[in-house]
Amino acid sequence: MKEIVSNIKKLSSGHSSPVHVSLFVLIPFIFTGFALLAFVIAYYASRASTLQLFLLGGAVIAFTAVSAVVVTFAVLSPVQKFIHQIESSPSYPKEPPNPKPASKSYVHDEILHYDHVFSEVANLISKVDARVRFPGIIGQSRAIRGCLSQIIKVAPTDNTVLLLGESGVGKELFAEAIYQESSRQGKPFIKLNCVAIAAGLLESELFGHEKGSFTGATAKKIGKFELANEGTLFLDEIGDIQLETQAKLLRVLQEREFQRVGGNETIKVNVRFVAASNKNLHQMVKEGTFREDLFYRLNVFPIYIPPLRDRVEDIPLIAQHILDNMPEKRELAPEAMRELITWSWPGNIRELKNVLERASVMADHGKITSVGLAKRMNLSEQQQKTVSDIITHGEEAENSVIKEDSTILEGFYLDDHLAAYEKKIILKVLKQAGGVQARAAKLLGINQRSLWHRIKKYEIDVSAIKNNGSLSP
């Protein structure tokens, strides 16, 4: 009797275990309920005899119930089979071992489970599509796939594309991807790095020149615009073009015509224009070093390519791709991969390639156990003291490093000094934010993932800052 009373109290208090009702039962039950409700309304509204109504109503309810069961099984059975096959696949991400908090109901959980599985399937398809459609671009992070989705949208058009990003992120690869996805594929794709050409010769490279137009012009030269006619022209590092050449470039973009250096003939071209820069062009416009009208002409469809430190999940894929293309086979040890993932990569993919090439030369028995990024060696006592001073005294020590009368010794390692000062700033901002990483990242002007990797890299104890506000070494 006591057990019965106890169970009644549990039920009344709302602490009973949830009743698991499958969708296979719930959906037919709901449709049958609708049919029963319709019968009740018809019963009170109709003048037919009770027997006729009950016979007709019973037939309708039975037909509805059977139909709902058949339709439910016909629809949900393949869905559940598909979900089971997907979850059994080794490519499907496994659920974390920690139990999830209880949801509103079993049905709520089941619907959320379906939604989660379909979202993961869409995510996997997106990764496969990116890998197959853009084999030259290695990466499956959401940041990179976001860039690729932009390329898919803009490539079929003739709109000017401006690729922005730090040096070494692979802007040329993205320009090639735009060309490959465009309607101009198979037509000329001309590339020009504006930094690699002397300022006095850039106009000749872009527009060509006539014979005798200047000293050394012994023959007529066809420029890049003319060579790219009906195709695509990619100008890398466009922020380094001089103002005078910028004005002439603007005219070509607007009028689609130009004249060779030293010539009078007007040449019309039909060119798809893609530009790239690792500089802040908007800031350059404010400073007067880049034409505002040219900037807006270029900035039709900007695509920002994230730095490597903001897509750390791509580092293992890129590193393996680089190693696979080396003459000698090399294997990365887990500790070496840890170094790669925790590094800030100021030189991005170009730096990663150089680091792996150097590490492959030093590898023993084909295995890379360290890539030399965790800590620098051969620092003199004076240099170690300088690093310590930067952490302790901040700006004062930083200024002392670059005094005019100071001497930089061999083995200075600029990266060590910059890293030490970066750590000092992060510690200071974390203390100011009370150890709240989201607020600290906002103050630093970086995203939370980037801050998290820096915290890991410098082994900063955030919990100690939260507890007592002290700066952890």
What are the pLDDT digits (tens) for 431-467? Answer: 888 888 888 888 887 877 778 878 877 778 887 787 6
What is the CATH topology of the domain spanning 142-306? Answer: Rossmann fold (3.40.50)
pLDDT band at 10 (very low <50, low <70, confident <90, very high): very low
Closest residue by Cα to residue 298 from 279, 314, 316: 279
CB 424 within 8 A of CB 391: yes
Q: Greater confidence, 242 or 82?
A: 242
* Helix, strand, coil in percent for the chain, rounding step 5: 60, 10, 35
Q: Give yes or no for residue 168 having a pLDDT over 70.
A: yes
Q: Greater confidence, 41 or 299?
A: 299
Q: What confidence score (pLDDT) does residue 89 get?
A: 61
Supply the angle between the helices 106-133 and 23-45 in degrees, to the nearest 10.
Answer: 120
Q: Greater confidence, 188 or 42?
A: 188
Helix (H) or strand (E) holding 303: strand 301-304
Q: Give yes or no for residue 59 having a pLDDT over 80.
A: no
Q: Greater confidence, 123 or 238?
A: 238
Could you give the CA distance from residue 123 to residue 138 in angstroms, rounded to a whole number? 16
Could you give the CA distance from residue 177 to residue 232 in angstroms, rounded to a whole number? 12
Residues contacting residue 304 through CB under 8 Å, at least 6 positions apart: 147, 164, 165
311-368 CATH pick, 1.20.140.10, 2.60.120.10, 1.10.8.60, 1.10.3720.10: 1.10.8.60
Question: What's the pTM?
Answer: 0.57
Q: Greater confidence, 95 or 458?
A: 458
Q: What confidence score (pLDDT) does residue 413 get?
A: 59
Q: For residue 133, count other CB atoms closer than 10 A to its CB.
A: 14
Mean pLDDT for the stretch of residues 22-50: 62
Mean pLDDT for the stretch of residues 102-114: 55
Residue 374, both tokens: 């965790």
CB 144 within 8 A of CB 127: no
pLDDT band at 472 (very low <50, low <70, confident <90, very high): very low
Could you give the CA distance from residue 233 to residue 247 in angstroms, rounded to a whole number? 18
Percentage of the chain surpassing pLDDT 90? 30
- Of 67-81, 224-238, 315-329, 448-462, the range with the lowest mean pLDDT is 67-81
Query: What is the chain's Cα-based Rg?
Result: 33
Residue 462, both tokens: 């955030």
Distances (CA, A) of 167 to 113, 141, 346, 351: 42, 19, 8, 10
Q: Give yes or no for residue 318 having a pLDDT over 70.
A: yes
Q: Greater confidence, 11 or 87?
A: 87
Q: Greater confidence, 108 or 133?
A: 133
Mean pLDDT for the stretch of residues 348-375: 85
Q: What confidence score (pLDDT) does residue 82 get?
A: 66
Could you give the CA distance from residue 154 to residue 322 in angstroms, rounded to a whole number? 29
Q: In this structure, are strands 367-368 and 331-332 parallel, antiparallel, or unpaired? A: parallel
Distances (CA, A) of 168 to 164, 308, 457: 11, 9, 21
State whether residue 389 is helix, strand or coil.
Answer: helix
Distances (CA, A) of 302 to 67, 181, 248, 298, 433: 54, 17, 22, 8, 33
In the chain, what's the furthest Cα-to-Cα distance? 113
Which residue ranges make up each domain of the chain?
Answer: 19-89+106-133, 142-306, 311-368, 381-468
Could you give the CA distance from residue 370 to residue 195 in angstroms, rounded to a whole number? 34
Q: What confidence score (pLDDT) does residue 52 get?
A: 60
Q: Give yes or no for residue 61 having a pLDDT over 80.
A: no
Name residue 233's beta-bridge partners. Answer: 190, 273
The arrangement of secondary structure in 381-468, i.e. its CATH architecture, is: Orthogonal Bundle (1.10)
Across 180-271, where does the E strand assignment appear? 189-193, 208-209, 221-222, 232-236, 257-259, 266-268
pLDDT band at 366 (very low <50, low <70, confident <90, very high): confident
Q: Phi and psi for 166 in degrees, rounded to 5? A: -65, 165
pLDDT band at 308 (very low <50, low <70, confident <90, very high): very high
Could you give the CA distance from residue 164 to residue 302 in angstroms, rounded to a whole number? 7
CB 169 within 8 A of CB 347: no
Mean pLDDT for the stretch of residues 145-173: 92
